[in-house]
Chain A
Amino acid sequence: MRKLALNDEILLKIEKPARYIGGEVNSVMKDPAQVDIRFAMCFPDVYEIGMSHLGIQILYDMFNRREDVWCERVYSPWVDLDKILREKKIPLFALESQEPIQEFDFLGITLQYEMCYTNILQILELSQIPLHTRERGEEDPLVIGGGPCAYNPEPLAEFFDLFYIGEGETVYDTLFDVYKQCKKEGKSRLAFLECAAGIEGIYVPQFYRPSYQEDKTLASFCPVNSHAPFTVKKQVVTHLEETTYPLSPVVPYIKATQDRVVLEIQRGCIRGCRFCQAGMIYRPTRERDVETLKKYAKAMLLHTGHEEISLSSLSSSDYSKLQELVTFLMEEFQGKGVNISLPSLRIDAFSLDVMQKIQDIRKSSLTFAPEAGSQRMRNVINKGLTEDEILDGAGQAFTGGWTKVKLYFMLGLPTETEEDMREIAALSDRVARRYYEIPKEQRRGKCQITASSSFFVPKPFTPFQWAPMCTAEEYMRRASIVKQAFSEQLNRKSLKYHWHDAQVTVLEGVLARGDRKVGNVIEKAYRLGALFDSWTETFRGECWMQAFADTGVDPEFYTLRERGEDELFPWDFIDIGVQKEFLRKEWNRALAETVTPNCRIQCCGCGAARYGGGVCYEDKN
């Protein structure tokens, strides 16, 4: 029987001990003596969040298909266990073998959102791995990062030996082969990193030096090791059907956030919303083959026993075989007690028809993401959704029996005026009006329109990467304008408005577009007690404020400034295919309130066609 790293006394004292015992259905056990590489795959948040992430399941499955690799999982210990591990000096361990991370060859950390950065330091410290690369010895695991936040790795540069830029399916095999070879030849850590730096898509931060201008902006960013290339190329899988997919994903004992089979139908998005990083970094849009997806769905439901299947993509409605796939899923599985969930769907006749068949409309709500209240603002962000489309969609939904609608907005978008803010309330009201146009005897009581706004954070590799942010006070002022506007609407009793916290937004802004100097702030904040910053119950803004003061780093340098056209960005050494000139052109079109058509209507020459696949070559065979 597997021996657990934690004893009964500890496991019975902490919240949800199942987070730490491993041994779940489809988790992979191997004999450590029979493998060459031990890889600890980490999602730096609690188990239930981390287990819901598709990317890790894909890599876990892919790595473990290799006989010479054993990939295990590790997540952030919640604060209760964190305290015990420190007190009792118990090293952090991987779930499968329950053995210390310290003994592994690699610690891979996925970077999904900025507010998990202090959790990364917790993982390193509890694993007894020195925080900084320069302090690590030959025996320490190699710490490698990947995921969307790796597209600006600079704030984390000091803490990672390597970053993998792009989709994991392309060069991990090469990286492992190189590592094995180096290990066999008895090469040093440094020698391995030099070999790794030569692999396309691998970034070794210690081989690069930034220099700064007097105004603190970046002057140059150059390799200082001959093995390191000037630009690091994003990795893209040209043909998704050539990749592996986890047909037997790990099934947690406790309820994870995603307690269902997740079927990735496509990567990338044709829409080109100007605030959206995913829409740029995952270009070109590539679809998966519908017949393959049908087989995957069947196999995954059988191997997991999940009672729900969900389609995953940035914009499901743009998947060309959506009707065929959804019809298949309904016909095949609905009678077998399997629920089907379809997030990120555009509201139209087809989707309403499907939703009526798969959910109880009395209980469910329909979600629209207009992102902005006024048409002007939607043109600025290139959200190709008109007010007529929103109101028609809502109208159809109301006729179909729905009474609850959720609306998502962003506040603090570039060029936003008070008029734009107030339009959030006005649009919500017009949706409600559409409901009350239905004759009284045909509708079911009141409607419930819930609008919520988050504050916009400009991200690297988007047309808004030049945009200034606001101060936390300004964000709150804008939220209160919207709130006030809601209270003045005709149907205010049917409207609800929620907004997000502004302090976290500002921090996220600093980390998203930060440079290497921001690393000190993260470390300082962590030392002062910041941890689980994405959780409202554990977020401690004062630690961060203190950290900025202690390190002399001015957060406003990163947030409030509109960046100059010629400014060199910390992430410019990464080549994502989409060109900086294209992003700049999009920024100017945003300021001119001009909409850019989506990839299927017209190619705008962003640069992603270089990858030789996907939407760029549709109908061109």
Chain B
Amino acid sequence: MKTRIKFRKYGALRFIGHLDVMRYFQKLLRRAEIPVAYTSGYSPHMIMSFASPLGIGLTSDGEYFDIELKEPISSREAVRRMNAATVEGIDILSFRQIAEEKKWTGMAIVTAADYLAKWKYTDTMGYSVPGNPSFDEILSERLPAFLKQPEIFVLKQTKRSEKEVDIRPLIYRMESRKDGIFMRLAAGSVQNLKPELVMAALCRFADIPEMPDCFWWHRLELYAAADNEAAGLADAGHKFVTLEDLGREIGEGHE
């Protein structure tokens, strides 16, 4: 049985990188005695796939990984056991059964992610000199004009090269909120846009040449494209569906 686990990552755990988070869950699943399936061979390992690695320093309310179970266990029991065996900084939010077909698991289905660039402080760089607008005010005020641009070219650095890319089509939604700037961006293995890149572009647009270190980077949710049958959603108007909604709760009778 394939299942998807949603978890939250916060506090000191934001300094634990993706590979170590994987190791953390391998051990957590054993401590919680979740009946996970293993590969065979001399060094068997858990069949496990993570949706989208989260960079060091980021917190998240919407992280996912899929595992394969040898035998069923109810969602409620699994969440309870895992939360009893976890540490401060990682909470298990849900444990759901997903479709068996390989194409609905792991990273392949991720198409978008929600981020919040939270204000760490706003009174920096003299922007809050009495009479001057504060830093968050400037960015919030310039945001509509920023999004009205037909193209937003940024320099994207990869391991091998750097190139100019238009990131405007990859920004699905962006708005100023009380605690920060919300973004829904393309994510996954096909197109992936980092929130830092978007905010740096916004800062430049607002004539702040160097993006100050004034944000907490937070991921809110991961989505798959909703126009697939597995989603089984009546409302076809939604473009995205959360990875969590692609799964369903496993009841006590394991139905």
| A1 located at the interface, meaning its Cβ lies under 8 Å from any Cβ of chain B in the complex | yes
Number of interface residues of A (CB under 8 A): 31
Contact A305 B28 (CB under 8 A): yes
Q: Is the CB of B11 within 8 A of A2?
A: yes
**Candidates B11, B20, B28; contact of A255 at CB < 8 Å:** B20
Asked if A17 and B31 make an inter-chain contact with CB atoms under 8 angstroms apart, the answer reads: no
Contacts A23-B89, A24-B87; A11 near B31 (Cβ below 8 A): no
With an 8 A cutoff between CB atoms, is B76 at the interface?
Answer: no
Stretch at the interface among A81-89, A296-304, A315-323, A391-399: A296-304
A 359-400 contacts with B by CB, 8 A:
359-360, 363
11 A-B pairs besides A305-B29, A360-B43 with CB distance below 8 A are A1-B11, A2-B88, A4-B12, A18-B15, A18-B20, A23-B12, A25-B31, A25-B85, A305-B26, A307-B26, A337-B46
Specify the chain A residue showing the minimal Cβ separation from B55.
Answer: A12
Contact yes or no, B43 A12, CB < 8 A: no
A and B contact pairs by CB, cutoff 8 A, 11 listed: A1-B88, A11-B15, A12-B56, A18-B20, A23-B87, A25-B31, A251-B27, A301-B30, A305-B30, A307-B26, A339-B43
Q: Is the CB of B45 within 8 A of A337?
A: yes
Which 9 A-B pairs have CB atoms at the shortest separation, nearest pair first?
A: A305-B27, A305-B30, A360-B42, A305-B31, A17-B15, A21-B12, A337-B38, A337-B44, A253-B16
| A19 CA to B42 CA, complexed, in Å | 31
Known: A12-B56, A21-B15, A255-B23. A302 touches B43 (CB 8 A): no
Name the A residues within 8 Å of B210 (CB-CB).
none
How far is the CB of B61 from the nearest CB of chain A, in Å? 15
Query: Taking the complex as formed, is B71 at the interface, i.e. its CB lies under 8 A from any CB of chain A?
Result: no
**8 Å CB contact of A254 from B20, B33, B85, B87:** B20
Q: Taking the complex as formed, is B213 at the interface, i.e. its CB lies under 8 A from any CB of chain A?
A: yes
For B89, the chain A residues whose CB sits under 8 A away are 23
Which B residues fall within an 8 A CB radius of A?
A: 10-13, 15-17, 20, 23-24, 26-31, 33, 38, 41-46, 56-57, 85, 87-89, 213
Decide if A2 touches B12 in the complex (CB within 8 Å).
Answer: yes
A12 touching B57, Cβ below 8 Å: yes
Cβ–Cβ contact B87 & A303, under 8 A = no
Contacts of B31 in A (CB 8 A): 25, 302-305
Beta-carbon contacts under 8 Å, A285-306 to B: 301-306
Assembly CA distance A417 to B248 (angstroms): 75
Chain B residue nearest to A306 in the complex (CB)? B27
* Shortest distance between the CB of B215 and any CB in chain A (Å): 10
Contacts of A360 in B (CB 8 A): 41-43
Q: Which of A11, A12, A21, A305 has the most chain B CB within a 10 Å cutoff? A: A305
Contacts of A21 on B, CB cut-off 8 Å?
Answer: 12, 15
